[in-house]
Amino acid sequence: MTEKSLHLAVALDGLGWHPSAWRLSHADATAPLTARYWNTLAGEAEHAALDLLTIEDTLDLQSSRPDGPDDRVDEVRGRLDAVQIAARLAPLTRHIGLIPTTSTTHTEPFHVSTAIATLDHISAGRAGWRPRVSARRAEAGHLGRRDIPALDLARLDEPAAVQVVGDLFAEAGDAVEVVRRLWDSWQDDAVIRDVPTGRFVDRERLHYVDFTGRWFSVRGPSIVPRSPQGQPVVAALAHSSVPYAFAARHADIVFVTPTDPGHAAAIVAEVRAAEETVGRADAPLRVIADLVVLLDETSTLARHRRTRLDELHGNEFTSDATIVTGTPGELADLLAEWRRAGVDGFRLRPAVLPDDLTAVTRALVPALRDRGLFRAGYPGGTLRDLLGLPRPASRYAAASTT
């Protein structure tokens, strides 16, 4: 059963993914600034034995414009740091994976590496990381260390834009490479506490990572001993060939956005081809399809709620991911069909939090179990275990024993 169980994740962001979610949410408008809110969401997700939760983050204010602030006052603005939220959740959860987002363009890889390794220690092996490229000038202006050329989202095919995007992802690749090397830079058995010789560590089991790339170099080793998973889970959101290749090289999970089962099959094929092209040696990527979900007891009620949210917002809600409006049973059928198209699981983005998460945990999950599609509980172990990913040996341990 566990072998065949699909993977189920929830993506947490503010009061939900619909821009008017806060108007109908049963949580307070300021709830996302409180630990209690995040604990409630994580507890709900864990109660239903979801594999993992992700926490969105950016280094700029939410906006309806592609870059820079807007003049709307009717949408949620402001958010907390995702790694801080994940760390705050770790001691109060036991099984669910915790995957915060950070920027590969601005945040120091060394800091990311030690923060996620520490999250892995604190959570006893449930940490993940979603590296995210920062392509917006607003973010660059907040850090003040570099300028990012303006990107016209309607003209991403033009050579200049292709170059910019390619560079951002190449740099992101370097960042993940450094982070992963640092995670390996302490062998599992580096701490020896050998009283007779007075040595706390065996320094032969600590390794300089000596990464030198086009954008930066990092010496190492990490300051954090190797964590329970060795390599926390790296997850990438990808919509096209450049990020598919990035995921194939650097990630364990890829979140994708198909529109229907045929498209899902095509994306899976493209991801597998990308794995082939980059010569991926690790376990195949877990391909997880993203869906925005808006659920109610009847499809009519769900549609009405969708209409109501859109009316409140003033225009129809669109998303990079397919929006499913219906009953939990209908969604369960849809997931079964997409599953047959080859995806390994789903990351559900609740349109309204906590409401649509509660519908997932209390109605969708039982419906999936009825169909034999989802585990009854947690089998125990780390997030890598849950995802069927082996625990890799440190690359340096392998090198020093051969």
Partner 1 sequence: MPKQIILAAHFPGVNNTTVWSDPDSGSQIDFSSFVHLARTAERGTFDFLFLAEGLRLREQRGRIHDLDVVGRPDTLTVLAALAAVTTHLGLAGTLNTTFREPYELARQLASLDHLSGGRAAWNVVTTSDAFTGENFRRGGYLDRALRYERAAEFVRTARRLWESWPAEAIAGDRDGGRYVTEAAPGAFAHHGDQFDIAGHFTVPRSPQVHPVILQAGDSPDGREFAASSADAIFSRHGTLEDGQEFYRDVKSRLARYGRQPDDLKIIPGVTFVLGDTDAEAQERAHHIRRQQVSPQTAILLLEQLWNRDLSGYDPDGPLPTEDPDVSGDAISRGRAGMYADPVDTARQWRALAEEKGLGIRDLIIEVTGRQSFVGTPQQVAERMNHFVQSDAADGFILVPHLTPGGLDDFVDRVVPLLQERGVFRTEYAGTTLRDHLGLRAARPVSQVGAA
Shortest gap between Cβ of 365 and partner 1 (angstroms)?
25
Residues 81-100: x where in contact with partner 1 by CB under 8 A, - otherwise, as a string: x-xxx-xxxxxx--------
**Closest separation in Å from C-beta 157 to partner 1:** 29
Within 283-302, the residues that bind partner 1 by CB under 8 A are: none
Question: Residue 110, Cβ neighbours under 10 Å: how many?
Answer: 18
- Minimum Å distance from CB 281 to partner 1? 27
Q: Which of 3, 157, 198, 402 binds partner 1 (CB under 8 A)?
A: 198
Q: How far apart are CA 87 and CA 81, in angstroms?
A: 10
Q: Is 40 in the site for partner 1 (CB under 8 A)?
A: no
Residue type, 209: V
Q: Select the residue interacting with partner 1 from 40, 43, 61, 378 (CB under 8 A).
A: 61
Contact flag: residue 150 with partner 1 (CB under 8 A): no
Strands 191-194 and 128-132: unpaired
Rule CB under 8 A: choose which of 142, 263, 369, 391 binds partner 1: 142
To partner 1, the closest distance from the beta carbon of 380 in angstroms equals: 19
Q: Which stretch binds partner 1 (CB under 8 A): 55-63, 154-162, 266-274, 299-307?
A: 55-63
Question: Which range in 24-32, 151-159, 267-275, 295-303 contacts partner 1 by CB under 8 A?
Answer: 24-32
Give the nearest distance from C-beta 332 to partner 1 in angstroms. 31
Cα–Cα distance measured from residue 103 to residue 96, given in angstroms and rounded to the nearest whole number? 23
Counting contacts by CB under 8 A, is residue 261 touching partner 1?
no
Min CB(298)–partner 1 separation in Å: 24
Q: Which stretch binds partner 1 (CB under 8 A): 5-13, 48-56, 139-147, 374-382?
A: 139-147
Choosing from 11, 135, 138, 264, the residue that interacts with partner 1 (CB under 8 A) is 138
Residues 163-192 touching partner 1, rule: CB under 8 A, are 186, 190-191
